[in-house]
């Protein structure tokens, strides 16, 4: 099976569902014409399929290795990364002031999905570098920006995110890495970080670490954390690379998946000479890092979607080729491909519909982020920032859950062959499994949604989104395919509204009860929004079918997938209102000793 980028699906989303035309109407993106967007997506599909996908299996088998203190990546990765940089892919949506091409961020998101489907381990490297660009643009002083951004934007240098420590985990406020002020305005960093993705490698000449650390007089907890840029190699006044900074790779983690991506234990300042530079203000590091983290959370959601898409393509290819059994209800002379069996069809449609729903959420999220930064009207910027904030936990949580679920279904479609490494689908499941964990576990995403995002601006954003969905439902006919979608999507919206009202009422008196229902609430919210966006696509497809040169098979598939999602997948999601609103009593009804029995 050869990966093929879902170009038609992506283009349809951009044109008919998420409203990219609102972006291209802005002066900033006036060059992003439909023809140029289609050309960029087409070339991205070729690059990922022809250059990155062939390295996926060999990278998994070889893995990255620590040799004499330096990380060596698998064969072909260094050359592929050079092609990636030479093609200008890293700079696609970056600021032209620092060498970027200035295209909408949503195009980089589409490309990130393609990269993940083709070679997830490779894609982790540029993903983190692009997040570092966002953090420096938003918070660094001009001198740091001028010194580091051009090579970070181009991809000549790469970036990392250093949060986690052995004793801290997701509790970032417990970190112990130290930073001491120096007379020249720099800081000396000392401490150890774990789980540092692409913390060292041989594909680029320098690595820029964004490191969270604590000053000696800092307050306790997250309020006392600062963010620092710590380069692997120091930079001379003429911009050339200087001496090696006092940092090193202690070891590489042995992981379930993404073997080609080096996950490093990093030591800073073993010899007391690790130099770092403050990003933003002292003790304001978490707000600076959240710029990078929110960027990364959407991209990790896209990684989940990339895994889901790859899993579907693997399962579909196998189901078309594998001949086994006689489908019930037919009397063929010979056995048929398993594609003809009802349960296999159910799994394939589940994978396809859920992948497209998750992709639609992520693309809408990216489009909102673009408009939040660039819309000319202040009210538009406010609304889109709130929408982006609301959708980010959905993109990350639902996108990565679907990646794991679809990869597991792909193994099931393969049957016993799915459990054999040579088919490649087991790697998809192994690689996908990290995505619900890093960049904030999906449980943390759910808590962020109920704890922060619902209350933001007095709840105006979710209320406006619900009204938008309701208005769309009222525009649908009451019969036919769209009528069926209207009924089931309407039921889901009712359940979501009731669950949200319960959460908002309980927030003031019992946050533990709210936390108990947070994860099923995230699922209900995500699936309702995903079903709505698929329905928007189905309505647009009906309109397109009336045109003379319509791609009828593709457009009809938009309608069938939206109806399948609404009829088959949304009803169980609507039933989550019960678990969401029943509080925390059952979760804490048993003591630790009782659970041990």
- CA dihedral angle for residue 404, residue 405, residue 410, residue 414, rounded to 10 degrees: 110
Cα dihedral across residues 233, 234, 239, 241: positive or negative? negative
Q: How far is CA 290 from CA 287, 434, 532, in A?
A: 5, 20, 29
Residue with tokens 């439902």: 473
Distance CA(448)–CA(290), nearest Å, equals 13
Supply the pLDDT for residue 54. Answer: 98
Supply the pLDDT for residue 333. Answer: 63
| pLDDT single digits (tens) 200-228 | 999 999 999 999 999 999 999 889 999 99
8-state DSSP, 588: G
8-state DSSP, 373: H
8-state DSSP, 218: P
Give the pLDDT mean for 279-301. Answer: 91
Supply the pLDDT for residue 332. Answer: 61
Residue with tokens 């709210």: 514
| pLDDT single digits (tens) 228-271 | 999 999 999 999 999 999 999 999 999 999 999 999 999 999 99
Contact between 516 and 584 under an 8 Å Cβ cutoff? The reply is: yes
Instruction: Name the phi and psi angles at 561, rounded to 5.
Output: -65, -40
Calculate what percentage of the chain has a pLDDT beyond 90: 91
Supply the pLDDT for residue 172. Answer: 73
Whose CA is closest to 41, among 98, 96, 91, 113? 113
Structure tokens at 383: 């609304």
Catalytic member of 439, 460, 470, 567? 439
How many other CB atoms are there within 10 angstroms of residue 314's CB atom? 25
Annotated active-site residue 422? The verdict is no
Structure tokens at 542: 């009906």
Bridge partners (DSSP) of residue 206 are 157
Structure tokens at 165: 């420590």
Distance CA(368)–CA(394), nearest Å, equals 14
| pLDDT single digits (tens) 156-189 | 999 999 999 988 766 777 789 999 999 999 999 9
Structure tokens at 537: 């696509």
Give the pLDDT mean for 27-54. Answer: 96
Confidence of residue 287 (pLDDT cuts 50, 70, 90): confident
How many other CB atoms are there within 10 angstroms of residue 398's CB atom? 28
Give the pLDDT mean for 484-506. Answer: 97
Supply the pLDDT for residue 19. Answer: 87
Distance CA(289)–CA(74), nearest Å, equals 30
Distance CA(77)–CA(123), nearest Å, equals 11
Distance CA(125)–CA(197), nearest Å, equals 8
| pLDDT single digits (tens) 535-581 | 999 999 999 999 999 999 999 999 999 999 999 999 999 999 999 99
Contact between 157 and 148 under an 8 Å Cβ cutoff? The reply is: yes
Bridge partners (DSSP) of residue 266 are 193, 249
Calculate what percentage of the chain has a pLDDT beyond 70: 99
Instruction: Name the phi and psi angles at 213, rounded to 5.
Output: -150, 170
Q: Is 507 helix (H, G, I), strand (E, B) or coil?
A: coil
Supply the pLDDT for residue 93. Answer: 96
Supply the pLDDT for residue 508. Answer: 87
Q: b/e for 123-155, b at 16 or more Cβ within 10 A? A: bbbbbbbbbbbbbbbebbeeeebebbbbbbbbb
Contact between 477 and 502 under an 8 Å Cβ cutoff? The reply is: no
Distance CA(594)–CA(459), nearest Å, equals 40
Whose CA is closest to 115, among 58, 63, 64, 41? 41
| pLDDT single digits (tens) 427-479 | 999 999 999 999 999 999 999 999 999 999 999 999 999 999 999 999 999 99
Whose CA is closest to 134, among 377, 20, 21, 298? 298
Distance CA(352)–CA(451), nearest Å, equals 32
Distance CA(356)–CA(116), nearest Å, equals 16
Confidence of residue 323 (pLDDT cuts 50, 70, 90): confident
Bridge partners (DSSP) of residue 268 are 191, 247
Distance CA(291)–CA(210), nearest Å, equals 12
Distance CA(210)–CA(368), nearest Å, equals 26
Average pLDDT, the chain: 95
| pLDDT single digits (tens) 76-133 | 999 999 999 999 999 999 999 999 999 999 999 999 999 999 999 999 999 999 999 9
Which pTM was predicted?
0.96
Distance CA(81)–CA(209), nearest Å, equals 19
What is the separation of C-alpha 497 from the centre of its chain, rounded to a whole number of angstroms? 26
Distance CA(410)–CA(408), nearest Å, equals 5
Supply the pLDDT for residue 291. Answer: 84
Q: How many CA atoms lie within 13 A of 98 on its CB side?
A: 26
Distance CA(205)–CA(233), nearest Å, equals 9
Lowest mean pLDDT among 14-18, 20-24, 490-494: 20-24
Supply the pLDDT for residue 316. Answer: 98
Supply the pLDDT for residue 289. Answer: 85
Whose CA is closest to 164, among 137, 191, 127, 134? 191
Bridge partners (DSSP) of residue 213 are 226
Supply the pLDDT for residue 290. Answer: 83
Contact between 161 and 294 under an 8 Å Cβ cutoff? The reply is: no
Q: How far is CA 492 from CA 357, 375, 399, 495, 589, in A?
A: 15, 32, 19, 5, 30
């Amino acid at each position: 099976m050869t990966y093929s980028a879902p170009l038609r699906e992506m283009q349809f989303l951009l044109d008919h569902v998420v409203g990219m035309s609102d972006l291209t109407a802005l002066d900033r993106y006036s060059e992003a014409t439909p023809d140029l967007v289609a050309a960029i997506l087409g070339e991205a599909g070729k690059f990922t399929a022809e250059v990155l996908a062939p390295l996926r299996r060999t990278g998994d088998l070889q893995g990255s290795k620590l040799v004499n203190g330096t990380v060596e990546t698998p064969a072909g990765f260094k050359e592929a990364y050079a092609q990636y940089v030479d093609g200008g892919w890293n700079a696609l949506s970056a600021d032209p002031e620092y060498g970027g091409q200035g295209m909408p961020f949503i195009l980089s998101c589409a490309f990130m999905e393609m990269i993940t489907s083709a070679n997830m381990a490779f894609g982790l490297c540029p993903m983190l570098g692009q997040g570092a660009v966002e953090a420096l643009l938003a918070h660094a002083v001009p001198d740091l920006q001028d010194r580091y951004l051009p090579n970070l934007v181009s991809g000549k240098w790469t970036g990392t995110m250093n949060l986690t420590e052995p004793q801290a985990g997701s509790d970032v406020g417990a970190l112990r890495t130290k930073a001491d002020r120096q007379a020249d305005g720099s800081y000396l960093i000392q401490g150890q970080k774990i789980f540092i993705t692409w913390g060292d490698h041989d594909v680029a000449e320098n690595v820029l670490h964004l490191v969270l650390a604590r000053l000696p007089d800092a307050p306790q907890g997250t309020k006392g954390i600062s963010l620092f840029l710590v380069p692997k190699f120091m930079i001379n006044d003429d911009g050339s690379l200087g001496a090696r900074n006092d940092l090193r790779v202690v070891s590489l983690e042995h992981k379930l998946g993404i073997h080609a991506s080096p996950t490093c234990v990093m030591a800073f300042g073993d010899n007391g000479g690790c130099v770092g530079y403050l990003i933003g203000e002292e003790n304001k590091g978490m707000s600076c890092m959240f710029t990078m983290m929110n960027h990364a959370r959407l991209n990790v959601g896209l990684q989940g979607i990339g895994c889901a898409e790859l899993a579907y393509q693997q399962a579909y290819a196998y189901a078309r080729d594998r001949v086994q059994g006689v489908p019930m209800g037919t009397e063929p002379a010979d056995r048929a491909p398993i594609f003809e069996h009802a349960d296999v069809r159910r799994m394939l449609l589940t994978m396809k519909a859920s992948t497209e729903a998750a992709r639609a959420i992520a693309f809408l999220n990216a489009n909102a982020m673009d408009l939040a930064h660039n819309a000319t009207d202040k009210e538009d910027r406010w609304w889109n920032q709130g929408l982006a904030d609301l959708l980010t936990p959905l993109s990350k949580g639902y996108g990565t859950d679907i990646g794991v679920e679809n990869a597991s279904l792909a193994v099931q479609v393969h049957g016993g062959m799915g459990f054999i490494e040579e088919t490649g689908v087991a790697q998809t499941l192994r690689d996908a499994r990290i995505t619900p964990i890093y960049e904030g576990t999906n449980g943390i995403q759910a808590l962020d949604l109920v704890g922060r995002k619902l209350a933001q601006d007095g709840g105006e954003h979710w209320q406006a989104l619900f009204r938008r969905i309701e208005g769309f439902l009222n525009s649908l006919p009451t019969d036919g395919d769209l009528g069926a979608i209207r009924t089931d999507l309407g039921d889901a919206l009712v359940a979501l509204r009731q669950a949200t009202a319960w959460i908002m009422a309980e927030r003031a008196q019992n946050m533990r009860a709210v936390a108990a229902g947070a994860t099923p609430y995230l699922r209900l919210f995500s699936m309702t929004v995903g079903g709505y966006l698929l329905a928007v696509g189905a309505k647009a497809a009906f309109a397109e079918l009336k045109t003379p040169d319509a791609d009828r098979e593709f457009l009809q598939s938009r309608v069938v997938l939206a109806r399948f999602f609404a009829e088959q997948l949304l009803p169980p999601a609507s039933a989550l209102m019960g678990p969401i609103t029943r509080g925390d009593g059952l979760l804490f009804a048993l003591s630790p000793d009782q659970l041990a029995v």
